[in-house]
């Protein structure tokens, strides 16, 4: 998996570890965490280096404690001191001794040094930052689903503040507000961070170095993901040019050897050329990992203008109300991204649109609509004993085996991979199979819930290209900002238990939202300012206002007269008979520039008078 790989992590490095699925990113983190042992070489750490590792194995953690208590397990030493303090206080109630006071004082001093009195507030801040409500903090850990449990484990790691924090796909378990909170937290994190992620915007906002895992090596780029893309393209260009130049020299040398091999007079030169070829450090040709897609979507029938009308839709789980009398419409050609915090009802809304969730109200389906619904539970619907190719053949598509192989190739199943059984695939591989099945259907309406989870950059790019070529309609739930900015032409979000729509792209929505916040903040600031009472109009101000307005009229007349003169001069100077009369042309030019200067002065005077009139009119009573 690795051969002579090297990586030096400095104390405050923020490193993004990237590469295709299966290249060994998670393996590297486990090697650093000492779960695996390298076959050759060594991994050394400073004596005081502590490690924190967020990975899928943490999902096996079980506890009956509430999530605040689980997160606070990060403060092991402080909690042990707290237990000793509580024990001594109890003993002193029953049998007071002077020596216990001294011991208690030392423990309390140590507890203060460990910042013990503020630990709970720190834990609450981080848990709420990554999406938990205040009332959730006292709920048992065992009540939460896998994704929310992983958030608790992430909070615990952040509270431990290890020297090196390693995060394997942290954004898979977070919604957009939580991702933004984590970005801010990690940017100012005091220790080093290594993060494996396929969320390019997250990487751009957090990391300062990029390490690419490729061809059993670790290639370092001294910038974020956007920098990596530019730098890699430049490096590839240089390497390809060097490769082509070297290949040309090799061919020339080989031709020389072939031509003069039989000549005794050239024997020494031939041997020298052969040895130079043997000693040559060969430059590898650039391996292009980017994939382009040519996806052919064949609809059996085109849908009507409207796909679905949601009218007066309400949904509640017991006392928890998700929607209340909400309305929305989906039209043919809509590419809708449904965004927002977890718990707002995004996946519930998708299921309602798909017809798999009960609700109150009315949904009127459109004409000729054929829908296909992709969600994580679709993985369970895969037939585990089928081979991948066989699974796609049974999906009802009219595509030939060659076409299906082409589709699977787009999702990184090439050669004999297509004969793998579903049951031996990883979660990410199953996701790609289920996604391929959804895309090859004859549906003209797609409903996709978190389709980019478990996809690497190449697979994500393939999906983006596929959806950009798709001429039907879709609604997508995703927390991947780059993905939705590339595919969506409308944004849905849930606010005040209603479906709200922004009729534009994600970037436009973000700009609009930021302007809304700025205007709201400015309005609040304006309301907080003490109100200045207007001065009563004074008679002398009214007289002055009349005089200035009279002067303004005079200035405007002069400006109009001057503009006419300038126009006449321009016409005169443009006449052919004046071109040959140098003296006359010089005189006209002098007059022209004088009038231009005069007009500029009049413009300045006009502007000053307008400002004065505006200020004076503020003190006048409104009619």
pLDDT of 5 strictly over 80 = yes
What's residue 545's pLDDT? Answer: 80
Q: Verify that 359 and 434 share a domain, yes or no.
A: yes
- Band the pLDDT of 538: cuts 50, 70, 90: low
% of the chain at pLDDT higher than 70:
93
Mean pLDDT of 536-554: 75
Residue with tokens 């007071």: 96
Q: Verify that 433 and 501 share a domain, yes or no.
A: yes
Cα–Cα dist 158/189, whole Å = 9
Does a structural domain hold residue 412?
yes
Which pTM was predicted? Answer: 0.71
CA atoms within 13 Å, Cβ hemisphere of 586 = 3
Does a structural domain hold residue 121?
no
Mean pLDDT of 483-488: 94
pLDDT of 431 strictly over 80 = yes
pLDDT digits (tens, 9 = 90+) for 311-326: 999 999 888 899 999 9
Mean pLDDT of 20-37: 88
Pair 566, 596: CB distance under 8 Å: yes
What's residue 157's pLDDT? Answer: 93
What's residue 438's pLDDT? Answer: 86
- The CATH number for 358's domain is 3.40.50.300
Mean pLDDT of 391-414: 83
- Band the pLDDT of 621: cuts 50, 70, 90: low
Residue 580 tokens read as 């040959």
Mean pLDDT of 94-100: 74
What sign for the dihedral angle of Cα 327, 333, 337, 343?
A: positive
Mean pLDDT of 485-504: 93
- Band the pLDDT of 481: cuts 50, 70, 90: very high
Residue that wins the pLDDT comparison between 413 and 396: 413
Pair 353, 447: CB distance under 8 Å: yes
Q: Verify that 381 and 275 share a domain, yes or no.
A: no
Ramachandran assignment for 396, one of left (phi > 0), alpha (psi -120 to 50 degrees), beta (any other): left
- Band the pLDDT of 290: cuts 50, 70, 90: low
Q: Verify that 574 and 433 share a domain, yes or no.
A: no
Does a structural domain hold residue 158?
no
In this predicted structure, which of 50-54, 96-100, 304-308, 320-324 has the lowest mean pLDDT?
A: 96-100
Residue with tokens 């619904």: 373
Q: Verify that 448 and 543 share a domain, yes or no.
A: no
DSSP codes, 60-88:
G---SSBHHHHHGGG-HHHHHHHHHHHHH
Burial of 484 (0-12, 13-18, 19+ CB in 10 A): buried
Q: Verify that 321 and 470 share a domain, yes or no.
A: yes
Q: What is the largest CA-CA distance in the chain?
A: 122
Residue that wins the pLDDT comparison between 444 and 456: 444
What's residue 235's pLDDT? Answer: 87
What is the three-class DSSP state of 18? strand
Does a structural domain hold residue 80?
no
pLDDT of 368 strictly over 80 = yes
Does a structural domain hold residue 351?
yes
- Band the pLDDT of 517: cuts 50, 70, 90: confident
- Band the pLDDT of 209: cuts 50, 70, 90: very high
pLDDT digits (tens, 9 = 90+) for 452-469: 887 778 888 888 988 998
Cα–Cα dist 609/611, whole Å = 5
pLDDT of 48 strictly over 60 = yes
- The CATH number for 601's domain is 1.10.287
Q: Verify that 500 and 566 share a domain, yes or no.
A: no
Q: What are the respective helix, strand and coil percentages of the chain, to the nearest 5?
A: 55, 15, 30
CA-angle at 51, arms to 47 and 54, nearest 5°: 170
The residue out of 516, 551, 579 marking a domain boundary is: 516
Pair 619, 534: CB distance under 8 Å: yes
Cα–Cα dist 437/395, whole Å = 7
Q: Verify that 498 and 546 share a domain, yes or no.
A: no
Quick count: other Cβ atoms within 10 Å of Cβ 411?
Answer: 24
Residue with tokens 């997508």: 476
Residue with tokens 């937290």: 185
What's residue 577's pLDDT? Answer: 67
% of the chain at pLDDT higher than 90:
39
Residue 412 tokens read as 């990184």
List residues bridging with 448 in a β-sheet: 374, 476
Mean pLDDT of 505-526: 87
Number of domains forming the structure of the chain? 3
What's residue 409's pLDDT? Answer: 82
Does a structural domain hold residue 224?
no
Mean pLDDT of the chain: 86
What's residue 310's pLDDT? Answer: 94
Mean pLDDT of 399-417: 85
What's residue 579's pLDDT? Answer: 59
Cα–Cα dist 12/25, whole Å = 20
What is the three-class DSSP state of 213? strand
Q: Verify that 586 and 550 share a domain, yes or no.
A: yes
Phi, psi (degrees; rounded to nearest 5) at 492: -105, 145
Q: Rounded to an integer, what is the distance from CA 345 to the centroid of its chain?
A: 21
What's residue 574's pLDDT? Answer: 65
What's residue 211's pLDDT? Answer: 95
pLDDT digits (tens, 9 = 90+) for 324-336: 999 999 999 999 9
The residue segments making up the domain with residue 362 are 306-516
- Band the pLDDT of 68: cuts 50, 70, 90: very high
pLDDT of 442 strictly over 90 = no
What's residue 258's pLDDT? Answer: 87
Cα–Cα dist 561/464, whole Å = 63
Q: Verify that 390 and 479 share a domain, yes or no.
A: yes
Phi, psi (degrees; rounded to nearest 5) at 51: -115, 145
Does a structural domain hold residue 336?
yes
List residues bridging with 362 in a β-sheet: 311
Phi, psi (degrees; rounded to nearest 5) at 13: -65, 140
- Band the pLDDT of 15: cuts 50, 70, 90: very high
Q: Rounded to an integer, what is the distance from CA 17 to the centroid of its chain?
A: 16
What's residue 13's pLDDT? Answer: 95
pLDDT digits (tens, 9 = 90+) for 559-581: 888 888 887 877 777 666 665 56
The residue out of 467, 484, 516 marking a domain boundary is: 516
What's residue 619's pLDDT? Answer: 67
Q: Rounded to an integer, what is the distance from CA 122 to the centroid of its chain?
A: 26
Mean pLDDT of 616-620: 70
Q: Verify that 511 and 573 share a domain, yes or no.
A: no
Mean pLDDT of 234-249: 89
Q: Rounded to an integer, what is the distance from CA 80 to the centroid of its chain?
A: 40
List residues bridging with 352 in a β-sheet: none
Cα–Cα dist 204/408, whole Å = 30
Q: Rounded to an integer, what is the distance from CA 251 to the centroid of its chain?
A: 47
Mean pLDDT of 583-596: 78
Cα–Cα dist 349/343, whole Å = 11
Pair 15, 164: CB distance under 8 Å: no
Nearest CA to 228 out of 532, 6, 18 is that of 18
What sign for the dihedral angle of Cα 218, 224, 227, 229?
A: positive
Q: Verify that 471 and 589 share a domain, yes or no.
A: no
Phi, psi (degrees; rounded to nearest 5) at 246: -65, -40
Does a structural domain hold residue 34?
no
Cα–Cα dist 115/220, whole Å = 38
pLDDT of 293 strictly over 60 = no
Mean pLDDT of 99-125: 86
pLDDT of 294 strictly over 60 = no
Residue 255 tokens read as 């031709």
The residue out of 456, 481, 516 marking a domain boundary is: 516
Q: 225-260 and 267-279 helices cross at what angle (nearest 10)? A: 160
- Band the pLDDT of 71: cuts 50, 70, 90: very high
């Amino acid at each position: 998996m690795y051969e002579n790989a090297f990586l030096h992590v400095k104390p405050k490095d923020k490193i993004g570890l990237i590469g295709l699925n299966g290249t060994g990113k998670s393996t590297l983190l486990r090697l650093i965490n000492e779960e695996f042992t390298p076959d050759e070489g060594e991994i050394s750490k400073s004596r005081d280096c502590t490690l924190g590792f967020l990975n899928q194995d943490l999902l096996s953690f079980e506890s009956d404690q509430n999530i605040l208590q689980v997160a606070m397990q990060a403060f092991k030493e402080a909690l042990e001191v707290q237990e000793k303090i509580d024990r001594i206080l109890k003993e002193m109630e029953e049998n007071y001794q002077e020596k216990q006071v001294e011991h208690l004082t030392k423990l309390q001093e140590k507890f203060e040094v460990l910042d013990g009195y503020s630990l709970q507030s720190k834990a609450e801040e981080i848990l709420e930052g990554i999406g938990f409500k205040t009332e959730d903090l006292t709920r048992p850990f065992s009540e939460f689903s896998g994704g929310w449990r992983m958030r608790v484990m992430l909070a615990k790691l952040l509270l431990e503040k290890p020297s090196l924090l390693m995060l394997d796909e942290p954004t898979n378990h977070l919604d957009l507000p939580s991702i933004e909170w984590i970005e801010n937290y990690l940017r100012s994190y005091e220790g080093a961070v290594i993060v494996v992620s396929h969320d390019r915007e997250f990487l751009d906002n957090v990391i300062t170095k990029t390490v690419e895992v490729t061809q059993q090596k670790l290639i370092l780029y001294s910038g974020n993901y956007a920098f990596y893309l530019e730098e890699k393209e430049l490096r590839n260009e240089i390497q390809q040019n060097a490769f082509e130049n070297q290949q040309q020299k090799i061919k020339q040398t080989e031709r020389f050897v072939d031509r003069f091999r039989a000549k005794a007079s050239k024997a020494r030169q031939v041997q020298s050329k052969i040895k130079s070829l043997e000693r040559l450090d060969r430059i590898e040709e650039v391996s292009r990992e980017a994939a382009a897609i040519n996806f052919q979507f064949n609809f059996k029938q085109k849908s009507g203008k409207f796909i679905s009308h949601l009218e007066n839709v309400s949904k509640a789980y017991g006392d928890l109300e998700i929607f209340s009398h909400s309305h929305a419409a989906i039209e043919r050609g809509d590419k809708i991204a449904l965004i927002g915090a977890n718990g707002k009802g995004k996946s519930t809304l998708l299921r309602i649109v798909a017809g798999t969730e009960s609700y109150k109200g009315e949904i009127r389906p459109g004409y000729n609509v054929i829908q296909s619904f992709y969600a994580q539970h679709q993985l369970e619907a895969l037939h585990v004993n089928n081979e991948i190719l066989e699974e796609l053949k049974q999906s009802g598509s009219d595509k030939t085996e060659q076409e299906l192989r082409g589709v699977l190739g787009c999702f990184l199943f090439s050669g004999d991979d297509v004969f793998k059984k579903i049951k031996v695939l990883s979660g990410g591989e199953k996701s790609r199979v289920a996604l391929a099945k959804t895309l090859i259907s004859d549906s003209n309406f797609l409903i996709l819930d978190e389709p980019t989870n478990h996809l690497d950059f190449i697979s994500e790019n393939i999906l983006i290209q596929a959806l950009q070529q798709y001429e039907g309609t879709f609604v997508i739930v995703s927390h991947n900002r780059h993905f939705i900015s590339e595919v969506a032409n409308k944004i849905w979000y849930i606010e005040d238990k209603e479906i709200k729509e922004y009729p534009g792209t994600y970037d436009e929505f973000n700009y609009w939202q930021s302007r809304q916040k700025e205007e709201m903040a400015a309005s609040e600031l304006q309301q907080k300012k003490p109100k200045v009472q207007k001065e009563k109009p004074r008679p002398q101000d009214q007289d002055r206002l009349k005089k200035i307005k009279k002067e303004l009229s005079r200035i405007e007349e002069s400006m109009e007269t001057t503009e006419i003169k300038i126009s006449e001069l321009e016409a005169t100077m443009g006449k052919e008979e004046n071109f040959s009369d140098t003296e006359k042309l010089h005189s006209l030019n002098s007059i022209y520039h004088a009038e231009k200067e005069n007009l500029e002065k009049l413009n300045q005077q006009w502007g000053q008078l307008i400002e004065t009139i505006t200020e004076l009119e503020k003190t006048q009573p409104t009619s």
